């Protein structure tokens, strides 16, 4: 029993030491509060006067930033109401409309005087207009007076809101800090204690937020720079001109490279268009149905046959084949470049460090923005549309190839190397087969994203189903647009069944 008591005493001493290290100040108070919170099941009601007085600053000092940010926003809302009610001119925004109306009213007075001399028939019209403007002026003045009369109401609501927020902060403070203390016990890298940097950071952020928001909403005319960002239109113009000049110079100096790239893309595109478009439709339809049956099963081939019948009977066959040829060209190039790049990035983390921001840029930049440099370097037409489609849809195959190869179990690779597998055998017989589901998902995503670009690509001269959708948007032809959109959907679903059939 003595040994157990000694052990419990030692644990209590360790816990007291941990609390002292974690909180730095008022350790006895926090030790007692942590014990109350830990012993009670559910939420324990406690009160922290320091958190009540300092508010969000206390949460920042204690590194409770998840509480700091929403509390700063709520406090600022109440402080702004107080500032508007105490110092703000609530009627100023309403009275700002008066100069324009008064100028119009003065003009109508002058026109009325002129009409009394030269055109007596129009006097009544001017008098009615003047009466209407005078009523508008009186209404604006009345609204401004009513707005100024709400100042006490704003002060009351702001004070009540600030008091309520501080009560909530005082009640949640010890519970939030105890939860952080529990995490700190298992991970000592979490920040603890108090230091000058955290105190200064939370105080400055809170004070600056209070002051700037109060000035913006309470005194909108005093600090104009807070209303809009102080930008200079000349800077934007000069940078835009510099980019335009650089793109023009790069297009001229690298014309041979882009011409060669366009020639290669057009060669592949012409070959695929010959296969898809020139092949008799019964042969092409039978080939697609057979491929779907072998890949995804004969039930899927029935759906494919129905989809092909939809494309044919509604007159979308040729345009669908042209769309598939354009899509196939973009997808083939993206996949043939993306999979080797993904393998290289999976084996070389430093290379992936440089490639990943480029992939992020390709995926986050709006698709329409791609068309600007593409037109500058490649002009308009199908090759330019294929380049834009490759940029938009080329990222998933690289990312998922890297993900699949990095997900190969290390013990499997070690077992293969133990049996004498070299790097080439390890890649082709171990890594790629095990990563194939992820790689196939990347290929599928690349193809479907490329198909999603057909409408946007039609803006720069790509033919196919996207052209019908674009015309429907231009001429408000709802029926044509829906039918063409369903045709694009049919093409996407058929490709998905063919590519991912066995994987499912």
Domain end point (choices 149, 169, 185)? 149
Q: How many CB atoms lie within 10 A of CB 344?
A: 15
pLDDT confidence of residue 15: 56
Domain end point (choices 149, 165, 197)? 149
Same domain, 21 and 45: yes
Low-confidence ranges of the chain (pLDDT < 70): 1-16, 220-221, 500-504
Same domain, 385 and 293: yes
pLDDT confidence of residue 173: 92
Q: For residue 354, give the CATH number of its domain.
A: 1.10.3720.10
**Does residue 105 form part of some domain?**
yes
- 394 three-class SS: coil
pLDDT confidence of residue 388: 83
pLDDT confidence of residue 7: 39
Same domain, 281 and 409: yes
Same domain, 278 and 398: yes
Query: What are the φ/ψ torsions at residue 150 (nearest 5 degrees)?
Result: -85, 5
pLDDT confidence of residue 161: 92
Long-range Cβ pairs for the range 19-26 (8 Å, 24+) = 19/181, 21/192, 21/193, 22/181, 22/184, 22/192, 22/193, 23/177, 23/181, 23/192, 23/193, 24/192, 24/193, 24/194, 25/194
pLDDT confidence of residue 340: 92
Domain end point (choices 183, 211, 226)? 226
Same domain, 96 and 74: no
**Contact 129/136 with Cβ under 8 angstroms?**
no
pLDDT confidence of residue 229: 72
Same domain, 102 and 35: no
**Does residue 145 form part of some domain?**
yes
pLDDT confidence of residue 263: 83
The residue range of the domain holding 39 is 13-90+152-226
Same domain, 128 and 28: no
pLDDT confidence of residue 343: 92
pLDDT confidence of residue 4: 45
**Number of structural domains in the chain:** 3
Structure pTM? Answer: 0.64
Same domain, 326 and 194: no
**Does residue 271 form part of some domain?**
yes
298-313 and 317-347 helices, crossing angle to 10°: 130
């Amino acid at each position: 029993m003595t040994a157990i008591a000694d052990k419990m005493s030692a644990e209590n001493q360790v816990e007291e030491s941990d609390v002292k290290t974690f909180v730095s100040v008022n350790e006895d108070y926090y030790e007692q509060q942590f014990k109350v919170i830990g012993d009670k099941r559910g939420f324990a009601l406690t009160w922290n006067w320091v958190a009540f007085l300092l508010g969000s600053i206390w949460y920042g000092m204690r590194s409770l930033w998840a509480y700091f940010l929403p509390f700063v926003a709520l406090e600022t809302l109440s402080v702004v109401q107080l500032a508007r009610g105490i110092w703000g001119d609530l009627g100023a925004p309403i009275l700002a409309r008066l100069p324009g109306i008064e100028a119009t009213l003065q003009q109508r007075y002058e026109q009325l005087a002129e009409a009394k001399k030269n055109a007596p028939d129009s006097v009544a019209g001017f008098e009615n207009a003047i009466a209407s403007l005078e009523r508008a002026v009186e209404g604006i003045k009345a609204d401004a007076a009513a707005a100024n009369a709400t100042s006490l109401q704003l002060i009351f609501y702001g004070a009540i809101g600030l008091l309520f927020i501080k009560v909530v902060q005082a009640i949640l403070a010890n519970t939030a800090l105890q939860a952080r203390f529990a995490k700190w016990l298992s991970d000592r890298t979490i920040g603890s204690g108090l230091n000058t940097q955290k105190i200064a950071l939370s105080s400055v952020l809170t004070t600056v937020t209070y002051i700037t928001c109060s000035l913006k909403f309470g005194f909108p005319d005093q600090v104009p720079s807070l209303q809009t960002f102080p930008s200079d239109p000349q800077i934007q113009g000069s940078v835009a001109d510099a980019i335009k000049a650089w793109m023009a110079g790069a297009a001229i100096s690298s014309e041979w490279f882009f011409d060669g790239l366009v020639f290669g893309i057009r060669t592949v595109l012409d070959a695929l268009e010959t296969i898809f478009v020139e092949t008799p439709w019964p042969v092409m339809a039978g080939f697609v149905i057979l491929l779907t049956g072998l890949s995804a099963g004969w039930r899927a081939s029935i759906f494919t046959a129905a989809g092909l019948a939809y494309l044919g009977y509604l007159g979308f066959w040729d345009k669908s084949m042209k769309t598939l040829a354009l899509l196939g060209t973009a997808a083939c190039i993206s996949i043939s470049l993306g999979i080797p790049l993904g393998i290289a990035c999976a084996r070389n983390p430093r290379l992936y460090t440089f490639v990943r921001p480029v992939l992020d840029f390709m995926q986050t930049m709006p698709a329409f923005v791609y068309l600007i440099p593409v037109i500058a370097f490649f002009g308009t037409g199908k090759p330019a549309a294929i380049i834009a489609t490759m940029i938009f849809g080329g990222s998933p195959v690289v990312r998922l190839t890297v993900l699949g190869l990095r997900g190969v179990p290390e013990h499997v690779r070690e077992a293969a190397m133990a049996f004498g597998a070299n790097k080439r055998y390890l890649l082709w017989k171990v890594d790629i087969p095990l990563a194939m589901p992820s790689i196939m998902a990347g290929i599928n995503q690349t193809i479907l994203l490329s198909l999603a670009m057909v409408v946007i690509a039609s803006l720069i001269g790509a033919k196919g189903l996207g052209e019908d959708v674009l015309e429907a948007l231009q001429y408000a032809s709802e029926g044509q647009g829906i039918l063409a959109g369903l045709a694009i959907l049919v093409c996407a679903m058929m490709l998905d069944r063919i590519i991912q059939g066995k994987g499912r």
